[in-house]
Amino acid sequence: MDEYAILVFRDQPFSDEEQLAFAQRLDGQLHSRTGSAVLGNSRLGHEALSDISNVDEQGEILKSADRRRMYGLGNRLWHTDASFQDPPGRYSMLSARIVPPVGADTEFADMRAAYDALPPEIKAQLEGLRVHHSIAYSRQTLGFEFSEEEQEKLKGAVHPLVRTIPRSHRRSLYVASHASRIIDWPVPEGRLLLRDLIEHATQPEFVYRHAWRVGDLVIWDNRATMHRARPFDDAKYPRELRRVTTLDIAEPAIVASGS
Distance in Å, CB of 222 to Mn ion, minimum: 8
Phi, psi of 227 (to 5 degrees): -150, 165
Length of the chain as a residue count: 259
Backbone angles phi, psi at 205, to 5 degrees: -70, -15
Nearer to ligand OGA, 36 or 180 (CB): 36
The C-alpha atoms of residue 9 and residue 21 are separated, in whole angstroms, by 17
Least distance from Mn ion to the Cβ atom of residue 257, Å: 33
Instruction: Answer yes or no whether residue 216 interacts with Mn ion by CB under 5 A.
Output: no
Q: Binds 216, which of Mn ion, ligand OGA, none (CB < 5 to 8 A, cut-off by type)?
A: none
Residue type, 51: D
What ranges make up the beta strands (E) of 62-156?
A: 89-98, 106-110, 130-133
CA pseudo-torsion sign 72, 76, 80, 84: negative
Q: In what order do the strands lie in the sheet with 6-9?
A: 6-9, 217-221, 89-98, 240-247, 50-53
110 binds Mn ion (CB under 5 A): no
Considering only residues 57 to 86 of the shown chain, the ones binding Mn ion according to CB under 5 A are 81
CB of 256 to ligand OGA, least distance (A): 33
- Minimum gap (Å) between residue 192 Cβ and ligand OGA: 25
Is the CB of 33 or the CB of 126 nearer to Mn ion? 33
What are the residues binding ligand OGA (CB under 6 A)? Answer: 52, 75, 81, 92, 94, 106, 227, 229, 241, 243
Q: Report the distance separating Cα 180 and Cα 199, nearest Å.
A: 15
Nearest residue to the partner ligand OGA, using Cβ:
229
Residue closer to ligand OGA, measured from CB, 87 or 129: 87
